[in-house]
Amino acid sequence: MRRWLLGVAFAAIAGAVFFARPAATPGPRLRDFEAYWSAGATWNAGDNPYGRAIWNTERTVDGVTPSRDELLPFVGPPPTVPVWSLFARLPYDRAALLWIAVLVAALLAMVTTTLRGSALTVKLSAFAAALALAIGFGPLTSDLALGQIALPAFAGAALVVVARSRWLAAIAACVAFAQPNASAGLFSVLGRNRATLAIVLGLVATYALGAFALGWSWPLAYAKVLAAHAGAERLSAIQITPAAIAYGFGASPPAAAWLGLAGAVVAVATAVLIATRVREGFARFAAFSALVPFVAGFVHEHDLLVAYGAAVWCALRTHGTTRAVALAGTLLVAVDWLGLAQRPTGIVQSALLALAALLAFIALGEAREWRAQWIAAAAVALLFAMGAFIGAHHPAPVWPDALAGFRAAPAASAAQVWLEEQRAGGLLAAVPAWALLRALSLAGCALLAYAICRRPTSDRTA
């Protein structure tokens, strides 16, 4: 039966990739890699990659519309700039192919590491199921499609928890710090000698790389950059945070900020409870990571990848009602809910990928658990139908397609340009339908953290 489940899961993935692709959107492939590569090229030219100068490079990338301002700001940590500098020495197309190879390797490493952290004995069937779950996981497919560094960063963070070599763990920590959201779950392992030493060594290496790129005071300069971009985007429709969702439901900006702070406080309190209740290191890491969207300042769809570790752990280690809750949480995170409104032509593809994630989750469990999970699956299927209906009737804009002939003020900073792009593209509108869709993703993260907290121990085989 497990083979049949996996066979159908991979068939659904094949259908989603080859036959149910949504209408293509204009622009270069690996859209976020465009900003990485351009930041490296801008730094190579002696300019500030965090300023408007990056647009001079971005506008040369095939697929970008140079007749309007569609600047995509670079907000990655300064220690990553020397890495992007190396990629920028290649033409964009060749650099993008090389980066795709890095992402595929990171995907395989993440699946392997997550399985290793969730189970002592890992079988080939479990790897196949975890891989199918990963491919059907909407945030991860977004990472691959956009060329996001969140994927290798989260793989590095998971390796810090699992690796037995302190030097391997230190290198992994340095990779994890390339994306703050992906590495935030490492707070769960502080206090363990090996992991703490690896994190400290990784921080030292990270600081040195940042100093090489932007000088010894780079943390302060980078904090200012993050603050400026947080102010520009914190209420945007592409943000999956409590504050942005509250604003979408109609809360004023100050009220939304307070609600966001309240959500963060609850998440931190939950993390403290998990730290006292869950003894296994990887389980704590997975639960902490699932709570990151409630406390992080920037959370896009691809950032929800941090819930993948919790999904695999729950698929392998939970039973009964807790397992049904975990399955519901996994599917809620796996679906790109806002994407149903942004790309209505991709609804069938989203349904097929969600089906693959469902079957993979079930295949990772025991046969006696399979029947009880269909109730949770049916409930999420009903929500998906509702979300598809809402998305079709409340379409959301996609950056930069809705910019028309946008031009920014010459004296505006990169953050100010990004703010005006959000406004011109309609992404700062408070639309309750979009807020409801995004709230489903956050609910999934909460359910996964709850499932780990409720069942902190079980057998470790897969």
Residue 461 — pLDDT band, cuts 50, 70, 90? very low
Nearest-angstrom CA–CA distance, 166 and 154: 18
What are the pLDDT digits (tens) for 48-80? 999 999 999 999 999 999 989 999 999 999 999
Question: Is 460 inside any structural domain?
Answer: no
> CB neighbours of 210 closer than 8 A, spacing ≥ 6?
77, 78, 79, 218, 219, 222
Question: Is 167 inside any structural domain?
Answer: yes
Residue 438 has pLDDT above 60, yes or no: yes
- As for how many domains the chain has, the answer is 1
Structure tokens of 460? 């470790």
What are the pLDDT digits (tens) for 333-364? 999 999 999 999 999 999 999 999 999 999 99
Q: What is the mean pLDDT of the chain?
A: 93
Question: Is 401 inside any structural domain?
Answer: yes
Give me the pLDDT at residue 417, please. Answer: 95
Nearest-angstrom CA–CA distance, 422 and 394: 18
Boundaries of domain holding 377: 2-454
- Residue pointed to by tokens 């190579």: 44
Question: Is 461 inside any structural domain?
Answer: no
Give me the pLDDT at residue 195, please. Answer: 85
Give mean pLDDT, residues 263-286: 94
Share of the chain above pLDDT 70, in %: 97
Question: Is 126 inside any structural domain?
Answer: yes
Give mean pLDDT, residues 31-42: 96
Judged on CB neighbours under 10 Å (0-12, 13-18, 19+), 291 is buried
Give me the pLDDT at residue 457, please. Answer: 58
Give me the pLDDT at residue 459, please. Answer: 46
Nearest-angstrom CA–CA distance, 363 and 379: 19
> CB neighbours of 124 closer than 8 A, spacing ≥ 6?
none
| Secondary structure (3-state) at 409 | coil
Give mean pLDDT, residues 26-48: 93
Structure tokens of 352? 């097929």
What are the pLDDT digits (tens) for 388-419? 999 999 999 999 888 888 999 989 999 999 99
DSSP state of 25: P
Beta strands in 212-312 (DSSP E): none
Give me the pLDDT at residue 402, please. Answer: 84
Question: Is 27 inside any structural domain?
Answer: yes
Question: Is 459 inside any structural domain?
Answer: no
Question: Is 235 inside any structural domain?
Answer: yes
Give mean pLDDT, residues 150-167: 94
pTM of the entire predicted model: 0.94
Give me the pLDDT at residue 373, please. Answer: 84
